[in-house]
Chains A and B, each alone.
Chain A
């Protein structure tokens, strides 16, 4: 370790026979002049400008990202739109396909009632239906509730409410 240090000391002594030259006074004038000109040309930012600028940049970046995402989504959906978009839907007629072994005739009756009451007052309708079902249960589950005067008991009487066709 000591030998290493002595060797380094020898080389250090040799190196000290020369040295890098320092800056001249002319260089000092030139550099400081250039720096001060730059100082005057570019005034320091006022403190409130910094967050404002950051906000503007963030907003611009957000708009850019949203626009690019919209563009990408539109492009990816083009092939789906070309053939026409088919959406699965439910039609009231589909209820006919419901087959109930035990309640088949009752379900068909209810469906027919629902169709007739397309613009019915649903609250009144629900109460009435509940009443019909209760009666049906009490009277030993007839297949079809009796219709007074040939009309469905599920529907409100038009004369009373005037709301059903």
Chain B
């Protein structure tokens, strides 16, 4: 309900052509969007760059966004397209030495930092779709229905991606422990 009223406020600001809509979009979407981009790009710095591109794109397409049937699906579609374009360009140019860590330990000590790295490597070995669903489900505490809505997928697809991803992760983490 709260999310719906936030979406309504964004639509109203867009209809007024009020730049304050940018802040409203930030407050409503940035947490999930940034986690999603990090899961997709597997690099915090790249996710920061793409986040900026996503917001600029949202501003350019604000007329379409205001009329979109589902605001969240439209925003995530823009994010996905921008991230895909970025990955293509990154594949073409020489990869710069960037800080690849995007998962940080809940408590800062060396053991946990090392374990966070293991987790990150395990997550990176999953297919993109499975990794995105697991990150949104576990770290952003979204339901399958919400993830399905965000990514414009069916709830069954999201659930099966989650299940296969978790099975794969269990094996990978067991290997890491041993």
Give chain A's interface residues, CB within 8 Å of chain B: 4, 7-8, 10-12, 14-23, 27-28, 30-32, 34-36, 38-40, 42-45
Contact = CB atoms under 8 A, between A and B. Distances in A.
A17 B166 contact: no
A23 B34 contact: yes
Interface string B30-50: 110011001100001000100
A27 B119 contact: no
Contacts of A7: 166, 170
B154 interface: no
A38 B60 contact: yes
Say what secondary structure dominates the interface of chain A. helix
A20 B52 contact: no
A20 B26 contact: no
B74 interface: no
B106 A17 contact: yes
Contacts of B60: 38, 42
Contacts of A30: 52
A31 B52 contact: yes
Given A34-B56, A38-B60, A44-B62, A27 B173 contact: no
A126 to B, nearest CB: 71
Nearest to B62: A44
A32 B116 contact: no
Contacts of B135: 20
Interface stretch (B2-10, B15-23, B77-85, B145-153): B15-23
A109 B63 CA distance: 83
Contacts of B70: none
B115 A20 contact: no
B22 A36 contact: yes
A18 B22 contact: no
A114 to B, nearest CB: 74
Nearest to A27: B48
A45 B63 contact: yes
Nearest to B20: A36
B169 A11 contact: yes
B163 to A, nearest CB: 8
Nearest to B51: A31
Given A19-B104, A19-B139, A44 B17 contact: yes
Nearest to A7: B170
Q: Which of A11, A14, A32 is most buried by chain B, counting CB atoms within 10 A of its CB?
A: A11
Contacts of B56: 34-35, 38
B169 A32 contact: no
A65 to B, nearest CB: 28
B127 interface: no
Contact of B102 (A11, A20, A32, A35): A20
Nearest to B52: A31
Given A17-B115, A20-B139, A28 B19 contact: no
Given A28-B26, A42-B60, A11 B173 contact: yes
